[in-house]
Chain A
Amino acid sequence: MSNIPGAAQLFDELDKKLMVYLRDGRTLIGYLRSVDQFANLVLHRTIERIHVGNRYGDIERGVFVIRGENVVLLGEIDETKEENDRLENVSIEEILEAQRVEQERRQEQEQLRARFMKERGLQYTAEIGPDDMY
């Protein structure tokens, strides 16, 4: 029983470099070492990658155990393509700063939107965060 027909499996992804997108919006990249029937994952040599615009920064995370429930999507990383992309790798500090700026900007926009809608007598419910989206 090498494969179960008609069912998706993660065994083929074992020991491959995967990018995992989590429900809270984080992106992890690491080698998949182990899975179970709940698609809980063990990532090895994990980095957390933050993208802002066309810049990105990596934070070392080591071994990462992910509860399967929190995985939105995952896929193997083509390392050759990764090299060729035009994204710019920046330092952790820089990317964190960029992320903070980005978040502030977004928050500001939200507030602005809420205010405008209130002025027009509309009730504004804040955009559902990524956490509840999935």
Chain B
Amino acid sequence: MDSDGFFEFDASLPPEDGAVEGGHEDEEYDALNDETFGSAAVVDGDWEESHQHLASITEANRHSSKLQNESALLNELQQLGLGNVGGYDGPTSAPISIRGYQGGPHIGSSLLGGPDLPGSPSNSIWTPSPGVDRLQPMGTPPSVGSLPSSAPLGLPSVKTVAELEQEMKLQSARTQPSLPLQPALRAEDLEKELARHSVTKGPNQGPQSHHWPSFQRPPGLNQESTLPANMYQWQMQQQQQFSQRQQQQQQQHPRFMNTFSGGSGGGGSGGNNKSVFSQPHAMQSGPGGSQHHPSHTHHNHEGSSNNFIHPHGPPHPPHHHHHQQQQQQPHSQHHSNQQQSQQQQQQHHHHHNNPPPSSHHPHHQHHHLQQQHHHNYNNSNNNNSFNNQHHHHHQQHHHQHQSHHPPHHHHHHSHHQPPGYSYHHNNRGQDGNYFNHNGSESQGRGSYERWGYDRRPYDQRGGQYERKGWDDHSSQHPSRTRRDSEAEWEEWHRCREQDEYSCLMTPREKGWLKHIQAMQLHSDTPYRDDYYYVMHSVKQQRKREEEVIEIDGLQLLLPDRGKDGASGREYEPPHLENSLGKLQVVSVNAPRKIIDLQVVHLDPSHPTTSMQREMRRHRHLLLYVEKLFNKMMELDDLERRIRHLPDCPTRDMFRSKSRTLAARLWANLNATPDRLLQVLCIRKGKSLVSRLLGWLGEGDQEHLVVTLLQNMTLLSRKDAHDQHLALLWPATDRLVATAAPNRLLELAAAFNNNSSAQVPSQKTNLAAALYNKYGVSLVLALLVRGEQVHAMLVDSNVWQEFLSAIITALATTSSSPANEGAIPKTTTSSSADSNKNEMAAALPSVALAASPCRPGQHLARCVGVEASLLKAAQDKMAQMEAIHSKASRSQSPTKS
């Protein structure tokens, strides 16, 4: 924004346009994030507040420090070699707190009249700490020549972006008293405001006002964004050279941080946050942490020497990077500069004793901006050749524009874009400016470039903050989760370079979207909500590992979806009354169908047709089955765990739990007399019951089979399409094969007892059973078992009745095809059950196959039945057996 003021003063487009709009966009973006992910960014607000607070403190400090030349403190500074470093936690947060800290004592003195005023922040926060005194000097301008040689790094004073902003804001407030100082402004707001002021004041209001708006502020912004990059570059160099100093700093940090956080209560509401931000860093301010500081201070130096730039004095990190030898020398130069300039203070911005003339400033400014890009690239690409190229360019520009006169900054801008340059610029604009692409591309290329410049500082800040800050301190920002990786960014930059239109979506945006998706997919009960995916992944895993995985719960198996960013609000899918499970109204074929949903009146007083009532009852039944199924899956889950657990108390606990659950399920199914029957009419109900069967005792199983037999007419009709009764067969098979005669009699009685009396006589349960696979199998099994224990059965009336019923049924059913002289289709096709008039093939049965008895033989034990009927029935039965044995031979009874 300010760079806009600087470069495009004469542009017809008012600079605040860019500033305001840019800020908005950025904010909106953040707002979007916050809205989506809840409290993710709340912390920021807090630190901004505190940042504001501390910055104002610092500002006050600055004034006072002008007056007080505290040489004693300077001496201490000398001793310490300036461990002003402070935890560097992200580009903005920690430096601020440090600064606030440093400024603290002075506030005490300047604002409140004394350092130990009770209740003053300085008193509570800083005074008690012994480390404070050592840090104090950093806030004060060192007098000329007093700067020790032990600080060749340009460390003496730390000034953060926040301070710069704040300071400038205050300055502008001073020059423009009408501007109210708002309490908790966001950094963007500050920038906007400053940009506006710089415009309103115009470039020609005397040296001071002339310089700072356009000139002095950008460094602030730049520093902010440059810092992280610098960190990295400095790391390499400083590692060897300044290890000693680092140790000092490390010693210093924790103390300093502790004091700070300890007393942060005085710092207002943001106090806690500050400590959150700064403390972790203090703890980890090892090599990485302290290495940040040199560059940090370096920039701050620019800031505190009243924000004007030393064209050659402060060497830019890229210079360091490429020309390490130069490093020391420029630094000392830089220091002498600093001392002088600090003395001179604001009024003499551009008078300093550096060899290069002041006319370099604007250019330098430019250069500085470029450097930023540089950093970015360095960072992301590690592409040295690219860097060098850039560097070269910078140098060129530098020379080209050396002769330009400083006051005409805006002039410089136009000159700064030679033909070859714009491409360059553009390219780099893309580098840092992904926000820009969001909205401003429609502005056309020209403005796009300009925008690239305008907004770069903060785009970079945004990007850098996420990239570096999160990288280093992700564990310390629990509320912010990083959703993009460094590799992604690298890739992004690369493809950005190749095609300016590509990669419109930044990794950050992609991460954001992925997060949304993941959030929608996230489920605490994936086993229930996403059963098929869960089971699929389990199978896949098994396939991979070719062994049964040991799990103590499915959670471990599930890929981690959405759990990392589960902060904030939970996503609640839309829910409709009476909908089964998740909303499924919208399908691929009818994405709009949801709009056409008709309102279902569930008010009982509302007049409804019987059809509607029926439908509602049916829906409720479905819903009921659905709920039972959820329980069933819990049961399955328990069983799985039990299987994989060794013998231990936990397993026993699971066992008893699952038994209770199964019992409850069964009790629920039998809650009302015909509940079980209703459930058995529904396909899913049948599979539910079949899965539950394994948990049931014999008595319960018998009850089930009896219910089935009694209602065979209804059930076989309902079962005609899905044949899900067959699922119940294996258990029934076992039951019948081991049944005592009494039980057989009960079953036979159930067959005979035609509960559905309204059904015509020829459609008895038995007859119905013969059209159903399950029924046929059951009849066969009963006959076989009956033959095995015939001694106890044949005398029973019930059994005789049963046998004669079978014979009759067999004879009558077989009569129609037999009369036509055709072989019953059951003999030719095992899938004959499609036709109602054909008997079903029996299901494979272990008991039947194992038994030497043949069901046909047993029919003969029926007394008092016509011989012809018996003959027909036996023929029929022989056919069935033939099919059955064939079937059971070809497909072994795996179902059990």
Residues on A lying within 8 angstroms of B by beta carbon are 1-7, 9, 11, 14-15, 31, 33-37, 42, 44, 69, 133-134
Establish whether residues B516 and A37, one from each chain, have CB atoms under 8 Å apart when the complex forms. yes
Q: How far is the CB of B128 from chain A (nearest CB, A)?
A: 45
Contact in complex: A15, B561 (CB < 8 Å) = no
Task: Assess the A37–B503 pair: CB atoms within 8 A.
Answer: no
B521 A6 Cβ-Cβ under 8 A: yes
B822 part of interface (Cβ distance < 8 Å): no
User: Contacting B514 at CB < 8 Å: which of A1, A69, A133, A134?
Assistant: A1
Most A CB contacts (10 A, CB to CB) among B513, B537, B559 go to: B513
Task: Report how far A6 CA is from B305 CA in the complex, Å.
Answer: 57
Q: Is the CB of A9 within 8 A of B517?
A: yes
Contact with A along B588-620 (1 / 0, CB 8 A): 111110000000000000000000000000000
Q: Which residues of B contact A (CB under 8 A)?
A: 483, 485, 495, 499, 501-505, 509-511, 513-518, 520-521, 530, 533, 536-537, 559, 561-562, 564, 588-592
Pick 9 A–B contacts, CB within 8 A, sort by A: A1-B483, A4-B517, A5-B537, A6-B521, A6-B530, A15-B499, A31-B501, A34-B504, A44-B504
Partner of A35, one of B505, B520, B591, B592: B505
Chain A residues closer than 8 Å to B505, beta-carbon distance: 11, 14, 33-35
Q: How far is the CA of A42 from the CA of B503 in the complex (A)?
A: 12
Contacting residues, chain B, for A69 (C-beta < 8 A): 591-592
Q: Which chain A residues lie closer than 8 Å to B502 at the CB level?
A: 15, 31, 33
Q: Is the pair B559, A5 in contact by a Cβ cutoff of 8 Å?
A: yes
Chain A: minimal CB distance from B784 (Å)? 48
| Docked-complex contact B501 and A7, CB < 8 angstroms | no
Complex interface: chain B residues within 8 A of A1 (CB): 483, 511, 514-515, 518, 564
Q: Which of B502, B504, B509, B561 has the most CB of A within 10 A?
A: B504
Chain A contacts for B516, CB-based, 8 A: 37
In the complex, besides A6-B533, A11-B514, A69-B591, 19 extra interface pairs with C-beta distance below 8 angstroms are A1-B518, A4-B518, A4-B521, A5-B559, A6-B521, A6-B530, A6-B536, A7-B521, A9-B514, A11-B505, A14-B503, A15-B495, A31-B502, A33-B501, A33-B505, A37-B520, A44-B501, A134-B589, A134-B590
Q: Min CB distance, B835 to chain A, in Å?
A: 33
CA distance A11 to B495 in the complex (A): 15
Main secondary structure of the interface of A (DSSP, over half): loop
> What is the distance, in angstroms, from A6's C-beta to the closest C-beta of chain B?
4
Separation of A35 and B521 alpha carbons in the complex (Å): 18
Contacts of A134 in B (CB 8 A): 588-591
Minimum CB distance partner of B481 in chain A: A1
Q: In the complex the two chains form, what is the Cα distance from A3 to B561 in whole Å?
A: 9
By a CB distance below 8 angstroms, the chain A residues around B588 are 134
- Which of A3, A5, A33, A36 touches B513 (beta carbons < 8 Å)? A36
Nearest chain A residue, comparing its CB with the CB of B482? A1
Q: Is the Cβ of B537 less than 8 Å from the Cβ of A6?
A: yes
Residues in B neighbouring A11, C-beta threshold 8 A: 505, 510, 513-514
Q: Which residues of B contact A9 (CB under 8 A)?
A: 514, 517
Q: Which of A2, A33, A37 contacts B504 (CB 8 A)?
A: A33
Tell me, rounded to whole Å, the shortest Cβ–Cβ distance linking A50 to chain B: 24
**Nearest Cβ distance between residue A23 and chain B, in whole angstroms?**
8
Top 6 A-B pairs, shortest CB-CB distance: A5-B559, A33-B504, A6-B533, A15-B502, A37-B516, A34-B504
Task: Judge whether A37 and B495 touch: CB under 8 Å.
Answer: no
Q: Which of A2, A7, A133 contacts B517 (CB 8 A)?
A: A7
> Max chain B CB contacts within 10 Å: which of A3, A31, A37, A44?
A37
Tell me the bound Cα distance from A6 to B518 in angstroms. 10
Closest residue to A68 on the B side, CB-wise? B591
Chain A residues with CB under 8 Å of B589's CB are: 133-134
- Contact status B504-A4, CB under 8 Å: no
Residue of B whose beta carbon sits closest to that of A6:
B533
B591–A42 CB distance below 8 A: no
Interfacial chain B residues near A133, Cβ < 8 Å: 589
Chain B residue with Cβ nearest A45: B501
Cross-chain contact B517 with A37 (CB below 8 angstroms): yes
How far, in angstroms, from A11 to B511 measured CA to CA in the complex? Answer: 10
Please give the distance in Å from A129's CB to the nearest CB on chain B. 14
B562 → chain A, closest Cβ, in Å?
8
The answer for the CA separation of A9 and B517 in the assembled complex, in Å, is 9
Say yes or no: A4 contacts B513, CB within 8 Å: no
Residues of chain A within 8 A (CB-CB) of B590 are 134
Find the B residue at minimum CB distance from A73: B588
Q: How far is the CA of A24 from the CA of B530 in the complex (A)?
A: 33
Considering only CB atoms, which chain A residue lies closest to B504 in the complex?
A33
Q: Which residue of A lies closest to B488 (CB)?
A: A2
User: What residues on A are CB-neighbors of B521 within 8 Å?
Assistant: 4, 6-7
B595 nearest CB across to chain A (Å): 11
Q: Which of A1, A2, A36 has the most chain B CB atoms inside 10 A of its CB? A: A1
Residues of B within 8 A of A33 (CB): 501-502, 504-505
Kindly state the separation between the CA atoms of A37 and B205 in the bound complex, as whole angstroms: 51
Contact check: which of B504, B510, B533, B536 meets A42 at CB < 8 Å?
B504
Once A5-B537, A69-B591 are accepted as A-B contacts, the answer to whether A15 and B514 lie under 8 Å apart by CB is no
- State the CA gap A7–B522 with chains docked (Å): 11
Q: Tell me, in angstroms, the Cα distance from A47 to B559 when the chains sit together.
A: 40
Contacts of B515 in A (CB 8 A): 1
Q: How far is the CA of A9 from the CA of B515 in the complex (A)?
A: 12
A4 B514 Cβ-Cβ under 8 A: yes
Identify the interface centre among B502, B509, B515, B588: most chain A CB within 10 Å of its CB.
B502
Inter-chain contact A4/B501, CB cutoff 8 Å = no
Pair B561/A4 contact, Cβ less than 8 Å: yes
Query: B513, A37: Cβ atoms under 8 Å?
Result: yes
Distance (whole angstroms) from the CB of B582 to the closest CB of chain A: 14
- CB of B433, distance to nearest CB on chain A (Å): 16
Which of chain B's residues have a CB closer than 8 A to the CB of A31? 501-502
Q: Which residue of A lies closest to B534 (CB)?
A: A6
What CA separation (Å) do A31 and B591 show in the bound complex?
25
